[in-house]
Structure 1
Amino acid sequence: MAKIDELNALIEPVVTGMGFLLWGIEYVRSGKFSTLRIYIDHENGINVDNCADVSRQISAVMDVEDPISTNYTLEVSSPGMDRPLFTAEQYEQSKGEWVEIKLRFAFEGRKNFKGVINGVEDGDVVVQVDGEEFLLPIESIDKGRIIPNFK
């Protein structure tokens, strides 16, 4: 989490300065290579040109600050319909949506939950799964993602 916090401190001012919302950051290391994935959003939506512009600006900052010492790929995109969720506020805004949540450690014997978000209470995401309500600590969530409803 310390690396994400460091990256967030570098990247958020760039993204917000360009008029976009920094939705979230994923930093995935795999062997010698890493991926830095940045999700941006805007009330009018995001297009390819927006992503390219933000990517150029972030690349310049990353080249100067050099927070990642290994080779990495920079990706900038919209969170999309199956948007990942990073913060308690995002989970609260997504109340009533179907979600898939993967925990870092097992909770009540399981790591994967698929259900409807009922809200956030005291730092826990409240998820209704098969008629049972679970309170999942936000700091224990490895990945959370909206399941799009095309009906």
Structure 2
Amino acid sequence: MKKQEIIAHVEALLEPLAEKFGYEIVDVEYVKEGANWYLKVFADKEGGFSIDDCVELSRALDEQLEKTDPIETPYILEVSSPGLDRPLKTEKDFVRSHGKLVEVKLYKAMKEKGVEKEFTALLKGYDPKAKSVVLELEHGAAICLDQKEIASIRLAVIF
């Protein structure tokens, strides 16, 4: 199976498990790091995703993976929370994070829009059709950026 097929297969296995346990599957990655392959599942739930939740979902998914055996090469299964500073990737991520502070890294500074290569702003909108993000800067000005201009966007963690 190809990488994207593996991810799609795992997502299909996760769907009923997430529903059963009340989890939200945030992301699934199948990546090679060094000599090892990793199947990474990021999940969340209302009130937070605990270590017990990780264990519960990991065991249930492992059982399903053993039955269907979609991955030919050895891999390490990791189930975790996406963390406080989670990257925003999907429409659901952007909708959930509306009105929250985000850290933005651009591929290059955009002086014409008044932003450096890295900055913090409030997420004010997302248009999935146009693949654009509306951000409110510190001084109150709003800017619209195409997703292709953004290297990364993640929730800001403030202590």
Q: TM-score, normalised by structure 2?
A: 0.71
Q: Tell me by how many angstroms 1:88 deviates.
A: 0.8
Checking the alignment, whether the CA contact within 8 Å between 1:32 and 1:71 is kept in structure 2 is no
Q: Which has the larger radius of gyration?
A: 2
Per-residue displacement from partner, 1:24-43 (whole Å, max 9, x unpaired)? 22222235422222122221
- Which of the residues 133, 142, 145 maps onto 2:143? 133
Shift of 1:86: 3.0
Letter in 2 for 1:11: L
Q: Which residue of 2 aligns with 1:23?
A: 26
Q: Answer yes or no: is the 8 Å Cα contact 1:115–1:127 preserved in 2.
A: yes
- CA-to-aligned-CA distance 1:75-112 (integer Å, 9 cap, x gap): 11122321232311211221232324568xx5888997
| Aligned mate of 2:17, from 14, 17, 22 | 14
Structure 2: 5+ residue stretches without partners:
111-115
Provide Cα deviations, 1:36-57, integer angstroms capped at 9, x if missing partner: 2212222132221111011001
Unaligned runs of 5+ in 1: none
Identity %: 34
Which secondary structure does the structure 2 equivalent of 1:71 belong to? Answer: coil
TM-score, reference length from structure 1: 0.74
How many positions carry a matched residue from both structures? 147
In the aligned structure 1, how far is the partner of 2:31 from the partner of 2:19? Answer: 23
Q: Cα RMSD over matched residues?
A: 3.1
Greater shift after overlay, 8-17 or 139-148? 139-148
Alignment of 1:2-151 (within 5 A): 2-3=4-5, 4-30=7-33, 32-101=35-104, 115-121=121-127, 122=129, 123-128=131-136, 133-137=143-147, 144-150=153-159
Is the 8 Å Cα contact of residues 33 and 70 (structure 1) preserved in structure 2?
no
Name the CA shift for 1:132/1:18 in 2 (closer, same or farther; >3 Å).
closer
